[in-house]
């Protein structure tokens, strides 16, 4: 259970969670609960494979994932910010819509009810072998994982800086805590919340793209609750990026262990529960001791 | 031409579906004066200020700030024009620091995109020392007292270059000491050339602080007077439209047997902190015990424990000699305890329910209001009509939702329900918070009436004047303890205020058990 291969897999499993959890964080910090992350993740995964399928370029696929995420989150933003509808209801509706729509479009595009044909994955960032020792060193560090793994890790630190060191971050956090206060200071609460929700869509969409590109195809309902697990990780990480990173690595590890244990005699049904059980245990341990943004979930 | 008026509002009209909040209101505030706007709740003061600040657009009217016309403006325009508002409910983000709250929305920057935290801190420190605010820029808001929070609000508007400050009910949550400190600050700001508008319903403060006064009633201006040339009585008449009893007539108490006895009561809060510690109390039939204290010093928790809403950690509560510690709220109610909760909308009423339904809550499960588990709607309505008539509730309709009533009438519904059925102990928490003078009069008279009919009354209030006029004895809470108890009439506001800050030491040395009337009794310091 502690082989290097497990840690290796853990980081890959954690990557979509990290991006999605960061997304959830921007949204909730602005005061909008984004349970639609699950659907956004799924849509992002689907869009990335469609784009890669037609262009042959997984980077175009990644961009398509982001775009799809932003579009889906735009629905959530309009419904919950402009029309002040219940954010949970809107999120659940989007998740159901995403599940049905991606499956339907899979059938329309590829004539399959289950999955897309395989597409090219993302090439690792490597230097040519001819560069010698330098290339070997760089490749061992940077070339080991798909590029989006590094993008996700960088996003954690960038998010941290944005949230705690920029005027935008200060306003976003204040909006999630006390929107009236922000409004009286002449900051537009709506704009801040739109920014938070759309950013969350972009990040979760990219997370979906990684999820699909890493397996080189789209499989129906492939998000499999990862959007919810990412939300749990965000809560477990106390609504801050470094905490969320740690929580995602833990959940990613559970998922890797789960995959490692399959076919080793333990009934798969139990093995497959591991990440979800861990999520619940973590939440039970942490709930009541953390504090969500005060205005999170409250329409303004 | 330099305008002599800092603020000019002409013919401001604003209607809401059921009320005309502002009806052709004119307001002139001269440069460099302290101008008070007084009126009852619902008179339209807050609406007027929201319109001025750009939070609400008026239906009609014209606004000029220092001669410049504002049209369809937003708060950001008002701020730019030199207006700053200190809201009644502070607009501070608890989880941010003082400096962050001050610069929010107008952050000093380095490299274009990052916040210049050092500059923010420096600006706050400079403003703070200039007016003697004594604020630590790095402290988090949640760790500050209410008085300090208010100073942060003032620094916030000064940081934005405000020359005109609006303070909405600034003294409601302050101790007397904090109020006098605030007045010192406001006068200093006036000397520095600022114009100050302050909204209040406390007439003493108007007379003490203001240069001029605008009085509002029912959305209209009913008078503009020089503070030096008016009296409290005149102002009250303009506010209410009739003569008002500013002092309650009260006969001396004829106290009987002990109704409530509390011994060594302790309770812990959400984070395991002690919110009540070693509280001893005793109230006899026919007397009012007032509990004074700055909000958040255990009064809320004390009331919750007494009414069964919160678990006691240690100690006991005896009602008529019987131990009721740990009983459910219903069991305690059934023993004759009435409760006027401090948050009437959250705990006193179900706003979506009708007045008739609200009037039987807590007794709805008993005869005659239900039989064999089924509500008897006729009995409930009849009961409601009776109470509506007796208590002059408006509108006199048992079928309207409680949420549509004015604050004063909502409170009357609660009072009518709780006083119905001869309670032996009455726990009243902030019974007149946010209600108009007429309803205050009603609540006060009702409380004393209950007392004279032999009920024991526990009155928790943040209004010192209320505590002093109604109480027979006064207990002061600080930090979850009762730090002093006084006989009413033997103590002045100064002393009470001092005790509320925990700084009272007067009784510790001069304590003499022989003469309770002359010497305040100090328990558990």
Structurally, what CATH architecture does the domain formed by B248-336+424-525 represent?
A: 3-Layer(aba) Sandwich (3.40)
- pLDDT score for B510: 34
B349: left (phi over 0), alpha (psi -120 to 50) or beta: beta
Is beta strand B60-65 parallel, antiparallel or unpaired with respect to B34-39? unpaired
Residue B92 with chain A: CB contacts under 8 Å: 178, 181
Kindly determine whether residue A181 and residue B91, on different chains, have CB atoms separated by under 8 Å: yes
Q: Using alpha carbons only, how large is chain A's radius of gyration in Å?
A: 19
Residue B96 with chain A: CB contacts under 8 Å: 170, 173-174, 177
Query: CA–CA distance from B318 to each of B171, B327, B454 (Å)?
Result: 36, 11, 18
Q: Across all residues in chain A, what is the average pLDDT? A: 91
Percent over 70 (pLDDT), chain A: 98
Chain B interface disruption, residue of A178, A189, A239, most B CBs within 10 A:
A178
- pLDDT score for A288: 63
- pLDDT score for B117: 93
Encoded tokens for B294: 């700055």
- pLDDT score for B46: 84
pTM above 0.80, yes or no: no
Q: What tens digit of pLDDT does each residue of A190-211 get?
A: 999 999 999 999 999 999 999 9
- pLDDT score for A1: 53
Superfamily of domain B5-240 in the CATH hierarchy: P-loop containing nucleotide triphosphate hydrolases (3.40.50.300)
Q: Mean per-residue pLDDT for B472-484?
A: 92
Report the residue of chain A nearest B111, measured CA to CA.
Answer: A166
CB pairs under 8 A between A and B: 68
Query: Which residue from A167, A174, A184 is facing B85, i.e. has the nearest CB?
Result: A184
Q: What tens digit of pLDDT does each residue of A3-42 get?
A: 778 888 899 999 999 999 999 999 999 999 999 999 999 9
Do residues B290 and B414 lie in contact, with contact meaning Cβ atoms separated by under 8 Å? no
Taking the CA of residue B427 and the nearest CA in chain A, the distance in Å comes to 31
Does the pLDDT at position B525 exceed 60? no
Kindly determine whether residue A166 and residue B115, on different chains, have CB atoms separated by under 8 Å: yes
B493 shares contact with chain A (CB less than 8 Å): no
Consecutive H or E run containing B164: strand B164-168
Kindly determine whether residue B156 and residue A185, on different chains, have CB atoms separated by under 8 Å: yes
- pLDDT score for B518: 37
Do residues B170 and B86 lie in contact, with contact meaning Cβ atoms separated by under 8 Å? yes
Orientation angle between helical segments A189-215 and A58-77, nearest 10 degrees = 140
Q: What tens digit of pLDDT does each residue of B23-77 get?
A: 999 999 999 999 999 987 778 888 899 899 998 899 999 999 988 898 888 888 8
Residue A294 with chain B: CB contacts under 8 Å: 94-95
From B301, B87, B295, select the one nearest B173 (Cα to Cα): B295
From B35, B29, B32, B23, select the one nearest B7 (Cα to Cα): B29
The confidence band for B506, taking pLDDT boundaries of 50, 70 and 90, is low
Neighbours of B508 (CB within 10 A): 11
Taking the CA of residue A184 and the nearest CA in chain B, the distance in Å comes to 6
Query: Which residue from A166, A171, A181 is facing B92, i.e. has the nearest CB?
Result: A181
B156 shares contact with chain A (CB less than 8 Å): yes
User: Topology of domain A4-118+138-286, per CATH?
Assistant: ABC transporter involved in vitamin B12 uptake, BtuC (1.10.3470)
Residue A166 with chain B: CB contacts under 8 Å: 113-115
Main-chain phi, psi angles of A265, to 5 degrees:
100, -25
The confidence band for B276, taking pLDDT boundaries of 50, 70 and 90, is very high
B266 shares contact with chain A (CB less than 8 Å): no
B91 shares contact with chain A (CB less than 8 Å): yes
CA gap B128, A77 in Å, rounded = 40
Is beta strand B114-115 parallel, antiparallel or unpaired with respect to B374-375? unpaired
Q: Where in chain B is the domain with CATH 3.40.50.300?
A: 5-240, 248-336+424-525
CA gap A132, B481 in Å, rounded = 76
A162 shares contact with chain B (CB less than 8 Å): no
CA gap B213, B236 in Å, rounded = 12
Chain B interface disruption, residue of A165, A166, A182, A185, most B CBs within 10 A:
A185
Report the residue of chain A nearest B56, measured CA to CA.
Answer: A184
CA gap B146, B294 in Å, rounded = 9
Does the pLDDT at position A55 exceed 60? yes
Residue A165 with chain B: CB contacts under 8 Å: 114-115
Residue A168 with chain B: CB contacts under 8 Å: 113
């Amino acid at each position: 259970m502690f082989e290097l291969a497990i840690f290796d897999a853990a980081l890959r499993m954690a990557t979509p969670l990290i991006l999605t959890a960061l997304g959830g964080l921007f949204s909730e910090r602005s005061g909008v609960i984004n349970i639609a992350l699950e659907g956004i993740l799924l849509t992002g995964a689907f869009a990335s494979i469609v784009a890669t399928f037609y262009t042959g370029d997984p980077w175009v696929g990644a961009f398509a994932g982001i775009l799809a995420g932003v579009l889906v989150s735009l629905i959530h933003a309009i419904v919950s910010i402009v029309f002040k509808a219940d954010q949970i209801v809107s999120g659940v509706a989007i998740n159901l819509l995403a599940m049905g729509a991606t499956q339907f479009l899979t059938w329309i595009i590829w004539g399959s009810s289950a999955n897309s044909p395989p597409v090219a994955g993302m090439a690792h960032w490597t230097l040519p072998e001819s560069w010698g020792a330098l290339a070997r060193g760089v490749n061992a560090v940077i070339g080991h994982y798909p590029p989006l793994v590094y993008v996700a890790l960088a996003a954690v630190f960038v998010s941290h800086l944005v949230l705690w060191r920029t005027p935008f971050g200060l306003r976003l956090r204040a909006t999630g805590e006390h929107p009236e206060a922000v409004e009286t200071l002449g900051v537009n609460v709506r704009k801040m919340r739109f920014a938070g929700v759309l950013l969350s869509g972009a990040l979760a969409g990219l997370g979906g793209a990684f999820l699909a590109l890493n397996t080189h195809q789209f499989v129906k309902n492939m998000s499999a609750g990862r959007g919810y697990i990412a939300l749990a990780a965000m809560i477990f990480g106390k609504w801050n990026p470094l905490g969320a990173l740690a929580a995602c690595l833990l959940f990613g590890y559970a998922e890797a262990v789960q995959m490692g244990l399959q076919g080793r005699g333990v009934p798969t049904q139990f093995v497959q529960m591991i990440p979800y059980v861990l999520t619940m245990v973590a939440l039970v341990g942490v709930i009541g001791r953390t504090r969500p943004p005060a205005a999170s979930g409250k329409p303004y | 031409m330099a305008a002599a008026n800092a603020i000019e509002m002409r013919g401001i009209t604003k209607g809401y579906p059921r009320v005309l909040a502002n009806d052709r209101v004119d307001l002139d505030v001269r440069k460099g004066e302290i101008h008070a706007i007084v009126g009852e709740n619902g008179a339209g003061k807050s609406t007027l200020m929201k319109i001025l600040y750009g939070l609400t657009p008026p239906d009609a009217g014209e606004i000029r700030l220092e001669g410049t016309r504002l049209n369809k403006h937003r708060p950001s325009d008002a701020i730019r024009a030199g207006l700053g508002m200190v809201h009644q409910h502070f607009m501070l983000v608890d989880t941010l620091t003082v400096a962050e709250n001050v610069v929010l929305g107008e952050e000093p920057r380095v490299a274009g995109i990052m916040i210049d935290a050092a500059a923010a801190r420096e600006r706050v420190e400079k403003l703070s020392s200039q007016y003697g605010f004594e604020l630590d820029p790095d402290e988090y808001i949640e760790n500050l007292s209410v008085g300090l929070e208010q100073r942060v609000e003032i620094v916030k508007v000064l940081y934005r270059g405000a020359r005109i400050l609006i303070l909405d009910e600034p003294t409601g949550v302050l101790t007397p000491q904090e109020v006098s400190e605030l007045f010192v600050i406001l006068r200093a700001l006036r000397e520095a050339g600022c114009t100050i508008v302050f909204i209040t319903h406390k007439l003493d403060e108007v007379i003490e602080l203001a240069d001029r006064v605008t009085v509002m009633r029912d959305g209209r201006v009913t008078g503009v007077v020089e503070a030096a040339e008016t009296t409290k009585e005149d102002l009250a008449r303009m506010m209410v439209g009739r003569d008002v009893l500013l002092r309650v007539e009260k006969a001396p108490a004829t106290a009987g047997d002990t109704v409530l006895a509390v011994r060594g009561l302790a309770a812990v809060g959400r984070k395991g902190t002690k919110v009540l510690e070693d509280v001893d109390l005793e109230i006899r039939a026919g007397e009012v015990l007032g509990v004074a204290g700055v909000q958040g010093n255990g009064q809320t928790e004390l009331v919750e424990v007494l009414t069964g809403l919160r678990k006691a950690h240690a100690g006991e509560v005896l009602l008529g000699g019987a131990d009721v510690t740990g009983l459910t709220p219903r069991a305690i109610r059934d023993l004759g305890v009435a409760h006027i909760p401090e948050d009437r909308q959250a705990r006193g009423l179900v706003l979506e329910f009708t007045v008739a339904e609200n009037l039987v809550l807590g007794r709805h499960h008993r005869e005659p209001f239900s039989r064999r588990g089924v509500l008897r709607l006729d009995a409930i309505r009849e009961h409601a009509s009776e109470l509506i008539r007796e208590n002059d509730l408006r509108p006199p309709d048992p079928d309207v939702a409680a949420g549509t009533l004015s604050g004063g009438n909502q409170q009357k519904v609660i009072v009518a329900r709780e006083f119905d059925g001869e309670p032996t102990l009455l726990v009243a928490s902030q019974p007149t918070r946010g209600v108009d003078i007429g309803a205050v009069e009603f609540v006060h008279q009702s409380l004393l009436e209950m007392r004279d009919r032999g009920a024991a009354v526990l009155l928790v209030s943040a209004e010192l004047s209320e505590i002093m006029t109604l109480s027979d004895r006064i207990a002061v809470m600080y930090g979850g303890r009762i730090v002093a108890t006084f006989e009413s009439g033997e103590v002045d506001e100064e002393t009470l205020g001092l005790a509320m800050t925990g700084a009272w030491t007067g009784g510790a040395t001069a304590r003499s058990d022989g003469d309770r009337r002359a010497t305040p009794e100090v328990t558990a310091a």
